[in-house]
Amino acid sequence: MIKKFLIQVCIFLIPVIIGYAIVENYTRNLPLTPKVKADFYKKYQDTIEILVLGASQNRDAINPEFLSQKTLNLAFPDQDYYVSSKLLEQLAPTLPSLKTVIIPISYGHFETAPNQKETWKNSMYRHYFGTKVSEKFTYFKDNFLYISFPNYYSAKIRDHRNGESHLDFNEFGYNNDVSTAIFQKLKYDSIVIAGQPIHITPPQPNLGFVAENAEKLEAILKYCNAHNYKVILIETPTTTRFKEQRIPEVLYRKDSIRSVVTAIYKMRYIEADSTQKYYLKDYRDDNHLSPQGAEKFTKRLNKIIE
């Protein structure tokens, strides 16, 4: 009876396992941002001189194509200082030519909830870069991409099969496609854009997150200091209407932390408000640069680095 039951279980599970294997294999071969960047990393690992960390603002604002030194941009949406610190600690030793680390200090970085320690990004970085950004190990979620975040990868699979991925990568993994950008969809009509709501994070002060986020930033700075890496702290450009919506209290705390760490660690700070002019077509939305804006910003950054 038990033997018969086990046979029936196996008969039931085999198609399920095969199905998951097919989906997992498909997921691993999708032309996603991490895959393109991992290919670049493996090809130029010995000559990469600049490492970019941070969230989507850095991902969109810095296009390594316009930097003189080989640059790996590992900024990713909603990526906090904790994940960035883990990536730095594990990838820096594999980059023998690394000289400069670029870190963000955006308006809401210190008062946005830190990434969960069991973040799904762990399986992503584990698969593509051989690193781990989680303090805990979950066998299935950390060893398989699709299972780690089914909703996310299901959407990516669907878009790829329907030809709706909207990807136009250069060899550095920078996506030049703007077809899904909010301002592009609104045809860069300033009147229409002015009537749209502004997504700003955090929408209200979150003092409870400040200490942890500041601690993780300091961990990055201490690591760079110990290994003699030059550090550039950057704040990427935002639209005027975004700036007007910022909460003074949150902005003050961010600027205070920035003043302290730049004084202690003697790093270069690049502020967004500069003599460089940015227009609507330089943005994807109020808080992210378009490829056109990224070219401006990256060329400015390149002059400073040189």
Distance (Å, whole) CA 234 – CA 302:
13
Same domain (yes/no): 205, 232:
yes
Same domain (yes/no): 51, 193:
yes
**Phi-psi bin for 173: left (phi > 0), alpha (psi -120 to 50), beta?**
left
Same domain (yes/no): 292, 282:
yes
pTM of the model: 0.91
Tens-digit pLDDT string for the chain (306 aa) = 666 555 665 565 567 667 778 888 889 888 899 999 999 999 999 999 999 999 999 999 999 999 999 999 999 998 999 999 999 999 999 999 999 999 999 888 899 888 766 678 888 999 999 998 877 766 667 788 888 888 999 999 999 988 888 889 999 999 999 999 999 999 999 999 999 999 888 888 988 999 999 999 999 999 999 999 999 999 999 999 999 999 999 999 999 999 999 999 888 898 876 667 899 999 999 999 999 999 999 999 999 998
User: pLDDT at position 113, please?
Assistant: 85
User: pLDDT at position 274, please?
Assistant: 64
pLDDT single digits (tens) 113-167: 887 666 788 889 999 999 988 777 666 677 888 888 889 999 999 999 888 888 8
User: pLDDT at position 144, please?
Assistant: 87
- Residue located via tokens 């279980």: 9
User: pLDDT at position 5, please?
Assistant: 52
- Residue located via tokens 């991409």: 145
The CATH number of the domain where 53 resides is what?
Answer: 3.40.50.1110
> Residue 303, CB half-sphere, CA atoms under 13 Å: how many?
6
Distance (Å, whole) CA 298 – CA 291:
10
Same domain (yes/no): 200, 275:
yes
| Beta-strand relationship, 50-52 and 71-73 | parallel
Range of the domain at 1: 1-30
Same domain (yes/no): 72, 198:
yes
Same domain (yes/no): 16, 87:
no
Same domain (yes/no): 74, 179:
yes
Structural contact between residues 77 and 59, judged by C-beta atoms closer than 8 angstroms = yes
Contacts 24+ apart (CB under 8 A), 86-90: 86/131, 86/132, 86/133, 87/53, 87/125, 87/129, 87/131, 87/133, 88/51, 88/53, 88/220, 88/223, 88/224, 89/223, 90/129, 90/131, 90/132
Same domain (yes/no): 50, 152:
yes
pLDDT single digits (tens) 96-127: 999 999 999 988 889 988 876 667 888 899 99
Same domain (yes/no): 26, 140:
no
- How many domains does the chain contain in total? 2
User: pLDDT at position 65, please?
Assistant: 97
Helix axes 121-129, 33-44, angle to 10 degrees: 30
Same domain (yes/no): 12, 71:
no
Same domain (yes/no): 136, 239:
yes
User: pLDDT at position 114, please?
Assistant: 82
Distance (Å, whole) CA 168 – CA 244:
33
Distance (Å, whole) CA 44 – CA 96:
11
Same domain (yes/no): 10, 41:
no
Distance (Å, whole) CA 300 – CA 295:
9
